[in-house]
Chains A and B, each alone.
Chain A
Amino acid sequence: MELTKLTALELGKAIQTGQVSPAEAVQAARAAIAAHQGENNAFITVTADAALERARTLTAGKAAGSPLWGVPMAFKDNICTRGVKTSCASKILGDFAPPYDATVVEKLTGAGAVSLGKLNMDEFAMGSTSETSFYGAVKNPWDLTRAPGGSSGGAAAAVAAGEVWYAIGSDTGGSIRQPAAYCGVTGMKPTYGTVSRYGLIAYASSLDQMGPIARSAADCAAVLDLIQGRDSRDGTSLPGEYGNLLASLTGDVKGLKIGIPADCFGEGLDPEVRKAVLAVADVLKGRGATVEEFSLPVMEYVVPTYYIIACAEASSNLSRFDGVKYGWRAEDYEDLTDLYNKTRTQGFGREVQRRILLGTFVLSTGYYDAYYKKALQVKAVIKKAYDEAFEKYDVLLTPVSPTTAPRLGESLSDPLKMYLSDIDTVPVNLAGLPGISFPCGLDGQGLPIGAQLIGPALGDLTVLNAAHAFQLETDHHKQTPKGGDAA
């Protein structure tokens, strides 16, 4: 059995039936990481020895209730793991090893997950290419001269390269969905508040949400079943019924009303992306869904609104990194202010500093009303527009990104251009909605194209089921990059 070709659920099944042991799965992951880490730099920290030790303690008998028992996975490096370095890909966190686990880590550990380590990313999840990491850029397994997307680029690259069967990423403005699209894998940002943020190092608290990156919508459903749920340690987590996504995936989309916002298919969209995404509508129509184009006239506001809110919250969230309590501290400071200035100026990369300055500006005296308050008002307008769309449609179909993966270095030179490429993903965070990104073809250069399905609040099952229906009908999600197999 070629383990790295299996989906997470297939491997989980093989472990449950005793065909494969968790230790064998870890060995396969370890070999794949050894083969690919040098070229794609997906990991910041690999914990293969600890994983192997843990895998040996997992007995198949305990797998009941967790279809992913014993399946190797990894966490993005902004998710706190007790005793394991958690860096946010920043110099400023140094070798910080949190003395606690994030709630998702606790939950997955309890469900038999075996972590192979911590995944590379844009520094503090700020970026769309995973090039701003202090630990070096991540490279796209489909083309090593290209970016894997960001900020969860390491997570998407590791899953695409077969190094782990699934990964947990975070998504503040598309950071799960866009790298999943660029790397040809499936990634889901669940409804805000359905996955506890406790232990996720905050970028923008009102927008951050963790979710899975895996090889299929069914894998994502299985992971979400394990990590969703109200957490008393996160005041913004939503109460509700959780845990039945996988069991409820039918692939039945008869009568599903799909809305296609014309505003997401206009100027700036790569024609090949347009064609592949619209083809998804045809496939679902073939299975009984109805499709209708409509107008969502808020798209020109979503990027500025997103960046004002995200940067404002980030400027506050990242103030705690000052060299005093944890992480890296500058040397040779003269006094307290000098300690703060040197630690933060030398410890944060340029993109992070830019966003902190921007966020500080929009909150400062004299500008709060014009920018921050205005953005919160526009956010209300955007949310209303989506609420209205969901009175008519069950899901919305859009591209994930206007283009396929850019060449390394191409985006960093023009930050505004990079921000604008987030147009299809950021409104989903602003409105707190579930969104799934899944492969729907390759462009002329052989690079994956991603499609996005967006659902109403708590409509996680609807988007998963629609993506699942597409994946029952097609095999785009089964394509892997050349050389993507373990040695």
Chain B
Amino acid sequence: MKITEEMVDYVSVLSRLKLPEEEKGPMAAELEKIVSYMDVLNGLDTSGIEPLSHVFPLKNVLREDAVAPSFDRDALLKGSMGRDEEAFLVPKTVE
């Protein structure tokens, strides 16, 4: 599988990573090497096999609908480098 710089750009935008120009080529090459290796899976016929996302057959883990006190707001906000006394702050988003 060929990984182009355009593909690296596409996944970079999706993952909000902006690689410096000079790193795109090497990253594409590294990813290509890894992805090509992953193609070994194509050697295994998996038709008809149900994808296994949860390894154990645990089911229906539910919580009772009972209110617990919410958290101290200051404690939640404290770790942010962009906040005021009541909210997290980000650059203008509203159109």
- A contact residues vs B (CB 8 Å cutoff): 94, 96-99, 192-193, 206, 232, 235-236, 238, 300-301, 303-305, 307-308, 315, 319, 322-329, 333-342, 344-345, 348, 353-354, 356-358, 360-361, 364, 371, 373-381, 383, 415-416, 419, 430-432, 457
Contact = CB atoms under 8 A, between A and B. Distances in A.
A329 B40 contact: no
A378 B14 contact: no
Given A336-B90, A371-B38, A357 B12 contact: yes
B67 interface: no
Contact of B17 (A308, A341, A380): A341
B30 A415 contact: yes
A394 B65 CA distance: 42
A99 B78 contact: yes
A304 B49 contact: no
Which 10 pairs from chain A and chain B are nearest by CB? A376-B51, A326-B79, A432-B55, A377-B46, A380-B52, A99-B75, A329-B81, A340-B16, A304-B38, A341-B18
Contacts, number: 154
A483 to B, nearest CB: 38
A337 B14 CA distance: 11
A183 B18 CA distance: 37
A229 to B, nearest CB: 15
Interface of B: 3, 7-8, 10-12, 14-19, 27, 30-31, 33-35, 37-38, 40-42, 44, 46, 49-56, 58, 61, 63, 71-72, 75-76, 78-82, 88, 90-93
B61 A235 contact: yes
Given A326-B79, A354-B30, A416-B37, A301 B44 contact: yes
B34 A325 contact: no
Given A304-B37, A360-B14, A325 B51 contact: no
B90 to A, nearest CB: 6
A44 B56 CA distance: 35
Given A345-B19, A361-B7, A431-B55, A415 B34 contact: yes
Of residues B17, B35, B40, B78, which shows the largest number of chain A Cβ atoms within 10 Å of its Cβ?
Answer: B17
Nearest to A379: B52
Nearest to A420: B37
A307 B34 contact: yes
A354 B33 CA distance: 12
Nearest to B28: A357
A385 to B, nearest CB: 11
A94 to B, nearest CB: 7
Contacts of A432: 55-56
Given A354-B27, A361-B31, A364-B10, A322 B16 contact: yes
Given A99-B71, A305-B41, A344 B16 contact: yes
A241 to B, nearest CB: 16
Given A304-B38, A357-B27, A419-B34, 15 more contacts: A99-B78, A238-B56, A303-B37, A304-B40, A307-B38, A324-B80, A325-B79, A326-B80, A336-B91, A342-B18, A345-B19, A353-B19, A377-B51, A378-B41, A380-B52
B54 to A, nearest CB: 7
A357 B8 contact: yes
Contacts of B44: 301, 378, 381
Contacts of A356: 15, 17
Given A99-B76, A325-B88, A357 B34 contact: no
A360 B90 contact: no
Nearest to A235: B61
Contact of B35 (A334, A361, A375): A361
B51 A373 contact: yes
Contacts of A364: 10-11, 14
Nearest to A333: B91
A329 B82 contact: yes
A97 B55 CA distance: 32
A342 B8 CA distance: 17
Contacts of B35: 358, 361, 371
A285 B41 CA distance: 37
B41 A374 contact: yes
Given A319-B15, A378-B41, A232 B52 contact: no
A336 B16 CA distance: 11
A97 B15 CA distance: 25
A357 B51 contact: no
A193 B40 CA distance: 30
A301 B17 contact: no
Contacts of B7: 361
A375 B17 contact: no
A323 B8 contact: no
A131 B19 CA distance: 21
A357 B58 contact: no
Nearest to A336: B91
A301 B41 contact: yes
B91 to A, nearest CB: 5
